[in-house]
Chain A
Amino acid sequence: MKYLHMILICACVSVCMTPRAEAHKVNIFAYVDGDIIHTSSGYSKSRRVQSGTVEVRDSATGKVLLTGTTDTQGHFSFPVPEQARSGHMDLDLVILAGQGHRGVWKMPYEEYNSSSNVENSTGKLVENTSADGVETAVGSGANDVAVSRGELEDVIRQVVREEVGGIRVMIADMRNEDPGIPEVLAGIGYLFGIAGLIAWVRSRRPRS
């Protein structure tokens, strides 16, 4: 009994002192914001991939265009590689979390190109507006503020970015959901179904 107590204490100590936990899968989520691609990698909603390697690869050839390391929140951001844009490449964003854990996010050329086109066209608009000196009055009365159209669009874009940020986090979290009751019950059902099928087939065979 004395030994059992010692074993239990050792067990508790070893459980508490373990440096990190293992996981079964790793997810990566990416989105484009202007000319920047943001990635977020995690094992689950709360457990992020820290110091994981993100590889940006050409989908067609597998060539690595650039690599980076995730921060403590599992984030890594990078500008769209010029080589990818000029070569019209679809991208594979690969997270290597170590110990055999790997996840991939596919980003087609149209996705990052269309986003940066919006940014560029708006940039031209800002320049034109500023050159023409066209200004728009916002508000009324003594607090009237005159802003250019470009500035107004910048403010709107910033507000939309902040509002959409929450939705992006929500989408990323949805990819990190653990399996639910339907998947678990389906798996158990399959196992007993297979066993039942084998038992039924064997029961129909004449015993020698």
Chain B
Amino acid sequence: MHISEGVLAAPVLLSGAALTVVGTAVGLRRMDYDRIMGVAILSAAFFVASLVHVPVGPSSAHLILNGLLGLVLGWAAFPSILVALLLQAVLFQYGGLTVLGLNTFTMAAPAVLCYYLFRPLLRNGKAAVGAFLVGFCSVLLSALFAASALALSGEAFVPLAAGLVAAHIPIMVVEGFITMFAYSFLARVKPEVLQGITA
């Protein structure tokens, strides 16, 4: 899901960066600074998740965990993912600095979108289904956003989107379950972490 440097057209990169700046500004404004260490823990989870490989037939794919960040942090997922991706670009050479803004947007925007989309489900007693859908759909939308960015830079959208979505099906399913179990665990042992959802 990390788009490399030198692939996207300049207008797409600039648009992605601008949207990320807006998202990060909103995230920083809405962030509860008394729970800053919680944001750091989730950011660290996102940072390390790309190293956790899920066996897929003869090969493997890695986790993303953007849905979990969106579920717990809401808009604060933007700055959280931005910093984690920056460190991945610098330390792991994943993605790159020029494409950092767009990569942040493709992973953070679906997280925030799913947070608002499925919040009614989470509040109405269907928490397990809601949490699963947040994890599942965040990865699905990220794949579609990445395909759109590549399509805007001149590639054909349909085969790209089909390839990206197909490649991420196991990740969607696995992350759906991870998000579901993480949500139910947090709801039982530390419900105040989820106060943004339940309020």
Contact of A191 among B5, B44, B60, B174 (CB under 8 A): B44
With both chains docked as a complex, state the minimum distance between the C-beta of B139 and any C-beta of chain A, in angstroms. Answer: 10
With both chains docked as a complex, state the minimum distance between the C-beta of B92 and any C-beta of chain A, in angstroms. Answer: 5
With both chains docked as a complex, state the minimum distance between the C-beta of B6 and any C-beta of chain A, in angstroms. Answer: 5
A191-207 with Cβ < 8 A to chain B: 191-192, 194-196, 198-199, 202
Contact of B4 among A102, A179, A184, A188 (CB under 8 A): A102
C-alpha gap A104/B96 in the complex (Å): 13
Are A24 and B37 neighbours in the complex by a CB distance under 8 Å? Answer: no
CB-CB < 8 A to A143: which residues of B?
A: none
Are B92 and A26 neighbours in the complex by a CB distance under 8 Å? Answer: no
With both chains docked as a complex, state the minimum distance between the C-beta of A41 and any C-beta of chain B, in angstroms. Answer: 13
Are A98 and B163 neighbours in the complex by a CB distance under 8 Å? Answer: yes
Asked if B141 CB lies within 8 Å of chain A CBs, one says no
CB-CB < 8 A to B71: which residues of A?
A: none
Interface centre among A17, A21, A104, A183 (most CB of B within 10 A): A21
CB-CB < 8 A to A20: which residues of B?
A: 59, 163, 166-167
With both chains docked as a complex, state the minimum distance between the C-beta of B146 and any C-beta of chain A, in angstroms. Answer: 6
Contact of B91 among A47, A101, A102, A186 (CB under 8 A): A186
C-alpha gap A57/B45 in the complex (Å): 39
Contact of B83 among A11, A94, A186, A194 (CB under 8 A): A194
Query: Known contacts being A191-B40, A199-B33, is A99 close to B56, with CB within 8 Å?
Result: no
C-alpha gap A100/B7 in the complex (Å): 6
Are B92 and A24 neighbours in the complex by a CB distance under 8 Å? Answer: yes
Chain A interface residue count, Cβ-Cβ cutoff 8 angstroms: 40
Nearest A-chain residue to B163, judged by Cβ: A99
Among B15-23, B46-54, B118-126, B188-196, the one that faces the other chain is: B46-54
Query: Known contacts being A11-B173, A24-B50, A47-B59, is A19 close to B40, with CB within 8 Å?
Result: no
Are B47 and A187 neighbours in the complex by a CB distance under 8 Å? Answer: yes
Asked if A178 CB lies within 8 Å of chain B CBs, one says yes
Are A18 and B40 neighbours in the complex by a CB distance under 8 Å? Answer: no
13 example contacts (A-B, Cβ-Cβ < 8 A) are as follows A18-B166, A24-B1, A24-B50, A25-B4, A26-B4, A96-B7, A99-B164, A101-B4, A102-B4, A178-B51, A184-B51, A194-B83, A199-B36
